[in-house]
Structure 1
Amino acid sequence: MSQGSMILKLISLPISIILICLGITTILGGHITPGGGFQGGAMIASGIILSILVYGLGNSPLELSHAYIEVLESVGALGFVIFGLIGLFVGGFYLYNFGTDLLNVVPQAIQTAFHYPDVTNAGIIPYLNIFVGLKVFVGLASIVIAFAGFKKIVEESE
């Protein structure tokens, strides 16, 4: 679909970036607001998909390489499994919600400014949202990239 209009090409990249930013916000706030990893991952994928549909597979400014997709999908899957196994060993259940500050990375200033026990007491749920968001984003984007690549092969063979 690389023969799209110039207006469509001008507005699709900013809209794609806005969709990606909204998806990241949805993932990061998923433990205290409606939404989370699946919804945010779908929003990020929709930004990539919009760019691919407007510019075409080879000309998209938000192009994802095969190696990058593999790494993101592996990080999402392994992170989810690792946190589940840590919960199994710590609490006796898979995905047991342990602790409030994993690895003690929240600085004291942020803890006092945001009333730390009230806002950030979700345990591992924010981390799981990030991993689920990665998996959903990569899964949905990969489907569209595969279809666009198949369409490109079919068009070249004709």
Structure 2
Amino acid sequence: MSQSSIILKLVSLPISMILICLGIMTILGGHITPGGGFQGGAMIAGGVILSVLVYGLDNSPLEFSHLYIEVLESIGALGFIILGLIGLFVSGFFLYNVGTDLLNVVPPTIQNVLHYPDVTNAGIIPYLNIFVGLKVFVGLSAIVIAFAGFKKITEESK
């Protein structure tokens, strides 16, 4: 049972949302700015952890089931491995930076306006940042959620 003050509960959810948004921005801009997948994933986990600590595990507005956490962690690990294998098949080296826009998300008109043959110039690095961020976010959040669940079980047994 969480006994936090009403002011803390009122302020923590918007701060959690801001942390999550800043973490997403850090992940998505990690290939051109300081930061990246690990830092962004830790920021997102910080938002979830703040919510769990203030509201408690049962009353947190940001709830994650065990299955949801498992699926997200598996997606992060498989995505990282798949991108590594793409580099392996293209060049013979695991995680080789292919250096192209893999999903063709940059329209040709933008490429022509900016006069770059490859606007991303980062290859698979942005995609790696996304998968690393997902893995770090789930890992750190799962640790705190497990500790909060353990604390709840020990308090109920007393």
1:114 CA displacement = 5.6
Q: What stretches of structure 2 of length at least 5 have no aligned partner?
A: none
Q: Output one character per residue of 1:60-110: Cα deviation in whole Å (capped at 9) or x when no partner.
A: 001111111011100000000010011001011000111321032222344
- Equivalent pairs: percent with the same residue? 84
SS of the equivalent of 1:153 reads helix
Give 1:1-158 correspondences, 5 Å limit. 2-112=2-112, 116-117=116-117, 119-158=119-158
Residue 113 to residue 9, structure 1, CA distance change in 2 (3 Å): farther
After superposition, what is the alpha-carbon deviation per residue over 1:20-47, rounded to whole angstroms, capped at 9, x for unaligned? 0000000000000000000000000000
Q: Aligned partner of 1:154: which letter?
A: T
- Cα distance, 1:5–1:81 mapped onto 2, change above 3 Å: same
Deviations 1:100-141 (A, max 9, x none): 210322223443566655751100000000000000000000
Amino acid of the structure 1 residue aligned with 2:50: L
Count of aligned pairs between the two proteins? 158
Change in Cα spacing, 1:98 to 1:69, as seen in structure 2 (3 Å) is same
Moved over 6 A (4+): none
One-letter identity of the residue aligned with 1:79: G
Q: Report the CA distance shift for 1:114/1:151 in structure 2 as closer, same or farther (over 3 A).
A: farther
In 2, the alpha carbon distance for the partners of 1:7 and 1:34 equals: 34
TM-score normalized with structure 1 length? 0.94
In 1, the alpha carbon distance for the partners of 2:2 and 2:111 equals 49
Unaligned 5+ runs, structure 1: none
When normalised by structure 2's length, the TM-score is: 0.94
Q: Matched residue of 2:99: which SS?
A: coil
